[in-house]
Structure 1
Amino acid sequence: MTTSVHPPEQPVASTSYIPPTKYVLSKAHLGAFQRSKTHQEIFDFIEDLNEAVVGKKLTEAGEGSERTKPILGILDSVLEIAKATPPVDNKLSRFGNPAFKDFYDKIGEASSELHSRINGLPSVAIPEIEVYFKESWGNKQRVDYGSGMEFNFLCWLLCLTKLGVLTKDDYEFLVLGVFWRYIEVMRYLQSTYWLEPAGSHGVWGLDDYHFLPFLWGAGQLKDHKHLRPKAIHDPEILDAFNKDYMYLSCISFINSIKTASLRWHSPMLDDISAVKTWAKVNEGMKKMYKAEVLGKLPVMQHALFGSILPFPTPEEDSELQKALEEEGAGEVGQVDEHGHIHVKGEPGWTMDCCGIPVPSAFAAAQDGATPHGGTAPFTARSGIKPIPFD
């Protein structure tokens, strides 16, 4: 059994569950969130899951407990719904496929039944936690996906843990079994519906969609006696170990859809590979997540808060009301047709959240062209071709 770095939270006992909603409307709200107990719980959960997988391989995940098996079954059902909702003919566009909207609606329709399969989950809590679940698969209007949606899946798992459905004994499998299955399902959705990267910067150069597999993947490797961060440049090492380690699997995935070197299409990953140890990479990833996901308004404006993961009230955070008064109650930014809040008065405020729509890497790769012309050598993956770089 893995010992938790942080004391486990007591299961939430509530007869008044609240469907979560958005609260982070300005820098003042973001500051309140960063000071909150909920922020600390989320980051502690990330750290505890990280510690649970140090030295552990994906191939050693096992089958999980009776608590986690229904969760895997739900993810399998999501994949089945996607396979039953094929993409429509959309050859004239390199952006998201409209069939994703049908898939999204089907997930919403199936959600209550899917949650009814979870052992020990109070039925009265389903309307609250299912919102996180439904928001984990992408944005229906924009047909995109990014670290904010991945964050919702993390919150869903945290809610299940706080409700006592999952325990710290499940932490290792939550990462190596449940979360990795989620990544596999998301890769199918991304490649099938050509989901666009959410925001103008992707996930800050890690890959177009995800952050946590790099964080926890570095955690897996942080005590490895032989592999070093620079190993991501060695094709033989990637081929030998990508089934064991999330970080290496993600690098292999990127290489499978993008030509040229990491230095060109993923410069941040290339820079990180120069770090001497995985332990330093792991710590850097945690700091980066806190700053670039939990600490960024364009991401956290979409965060959802209810009774299980509450947002602090002005009474609980004396700085919040003061900051709101200083910012001006009416200066919380503009809300666009997608529900995105654009903060006025900041350089590039219209770009930081939505940015210019970016074609899916899968869509951009449909011709299989290389930067030098011709067709690149490629190991076939279902529906994926290398992306060209000019």
Structure 2
Amino acid sequence: MSTNKIEFTNTKAYEFIKIFMYQVDISIKEGKQFENKTQIDILNLINQRIEDTPLDSSSHRFANNACLSIFEFLKSFENIYLVNSFGNASRMDYGTGHELNYFCNLFVLYKKGYCKINEVFYTLKIYFRVVRNFISKYNIEPAGSQGIWGIDDYQILPYLFGSSELFNSNRNILELDTSYCYVECLKSTKNKNSLVLSSFKNKRWFDINRNSLNMYDNQVFKKNVITQHFIYSEYLPNTKK
């Protein structure tokens, strides 16, 4: 892993992960999505550990200290992207940078031939659920919440790829159930007063999808407060484009 400083948007890592995002987006729009059993099994194993790890009974102003055992458990997978996909152990918080780490994990698996493009979305949906369970159980803090000006205190990808799933639909959000990724995340979000989500209610899925892709680029890829912690690697190098 390299630590040389370079503007993230000038790196090959940015180019590669952004292209991958568009590839996944197109795959969801155009074809059936499938399960990657190996990755789902790993996520189920993590979720089971969350379920089996009781809360620390001492009083806590913020996150429950029992979450630290989950962070420790993640180290056993010896995967730097996966280890950093559930938040920061020191601050006991979670945000879009950690969500990005898991997406990078899937990119690397894709490049190695362990995950197909049409398996990414299904895997992400399980990851979103496991993370929500983790956040809810241990009261994990949001990393850099934007309040009503943000789409969600914790994640953006469920909305982005959720809009990809509904891209060809003419149905209104009120007509949809939680079998759809977008609605499932919307029902569980703590940011009930998001002006962004409110503005999406009367838009076409085409527009929501386009806006979500632009939003991710601006609020994650182009935010130094997030990308300064980006994990560069062999498949996501910090060399210039």
Compute the TM-score of the two structures, normalised by the length of structure 2: 0.91
Contact 1:55–1:222 under 8 Å retained in 2: no
Aligned to 2:101: 152
The verdict on how the C-alpha distance between 1:103 and 1:202 changes in structure 2, with shifts beyond 3 A counting, is farther
What secondary structure does 2:185 align onto? helix
What secondary structure does 1:305 align onto? coil
Contact 1:22–1:302 under 8 Å retained in 2: no
Aligned to 2:82: 133
RCO higher in 1 or 2 (8 Å CA, sep ≥ 6)? Answer: 2
Aligned to 2:39: 71
Contact 1:203–1:210 under 8 Å retained in 2: no
Gaps of 5+ in 1: 1-19, 113-129, 318-390
Aligned to 2:110: 161
Residue identity in the other structure for 1:311: N
Q: Does 1:227 align with 2:200?
A: no
Residue identity in the other structure for 1:101: L
Q: CA offsets per residue over residues 5-31 of structure 1, 9 Å max, x none?
A: xxxxxxxxxxxxxxx35545xxxx22x
**Equivalent position to 2:229, from 302, 324, 333:** 302
How many equivalent residue pairs? 241
Distance 2:148 2:97 in 1: 10
- 1:271-286 matches, within 5 Å, as 271-275=199-203, 277-286=204-213
Q: Does 1:252 align with 2:187?
A: yes
Residue identity in the other structure for 2:178: N
Residue identity in the other structure for 1:160: L
Contact 2:74–2:82 under 8 Å retained in 1: no
Q: Compute the displacement of 1:47 (Å).
A: 0.8
What secondary structure does 2:199 align onto? helix
Q: Does 1:36 align with 2:11?
A: yes
What secondary structure does 1:98 align onto? coil
**Equivalent position to 1:211, from 145, 156, 159:** 156
Q: Compute the displacement of 1:187 (Å).
A: 1.0
Residue identity in the other structure for 2:136: S
The verdict on how the C-alpha distance between 1:203 and 1:47 changes in structure 2, with shifts beyond 3 A counting, is farther
Aligned to 2:28: 53
Aligned to 1:95: 62
Identical-pair percentage: 27
Report the aligned-residue RMSD.
2.1
Aligned to 2:140: 195
Distance 1:291 1:211 in 2: 12
Distance 1:79 1:301 in 2: 29
Aligned to 2:178: 242
Distance 2:71 2:141 in 1: 15
Residue identity in the other structure for 2:167: K
Give 1 or 2: higher helix fraction: 2
Q: Compute the displacement of 1:222 (Å).
A: 1.3
Q: Compute the displacement of 1:164 (Å).
A: 2.1
What secondary structure does 1:105 align onto? helix
What secondary structure does 1:283 align onto? helix
Distance 2:48 2:4 in 1: 34
Gaps of 5+ in 2: none
Q: Compute the displacement of 1:249 (Å).
A: 1.3
Distance 2:133 2:110 in 1: 27
The structure with the larger Rg is 1
What secondary structure does 1:138 align onto? coil
Contact 2:56–2:64 under 8 Å retained in 1: yes
Distance 1:74 1:22 in 2: 29
Q: Compute the displacement of 1:201 (Å).
A: 1.9
- 1:8-47 matches, within 5 Å, as 20-24=1-5, 29-30=6-7, 33-47=8-22
Q: Compute the displacement of 1:278 (Å).
A: 0.8
What secondary structure does 1:293 align onto? helix
Contact 1:95–1:196 under 8 Å retained in 2: yes
Contact 2:84–2:101 under 8 Å retained in 1: yes
The verdict on how the C-alpha distance between 1:200 and 1:207 changes in structure 2, with shifts beyond 3 A counting, is closer
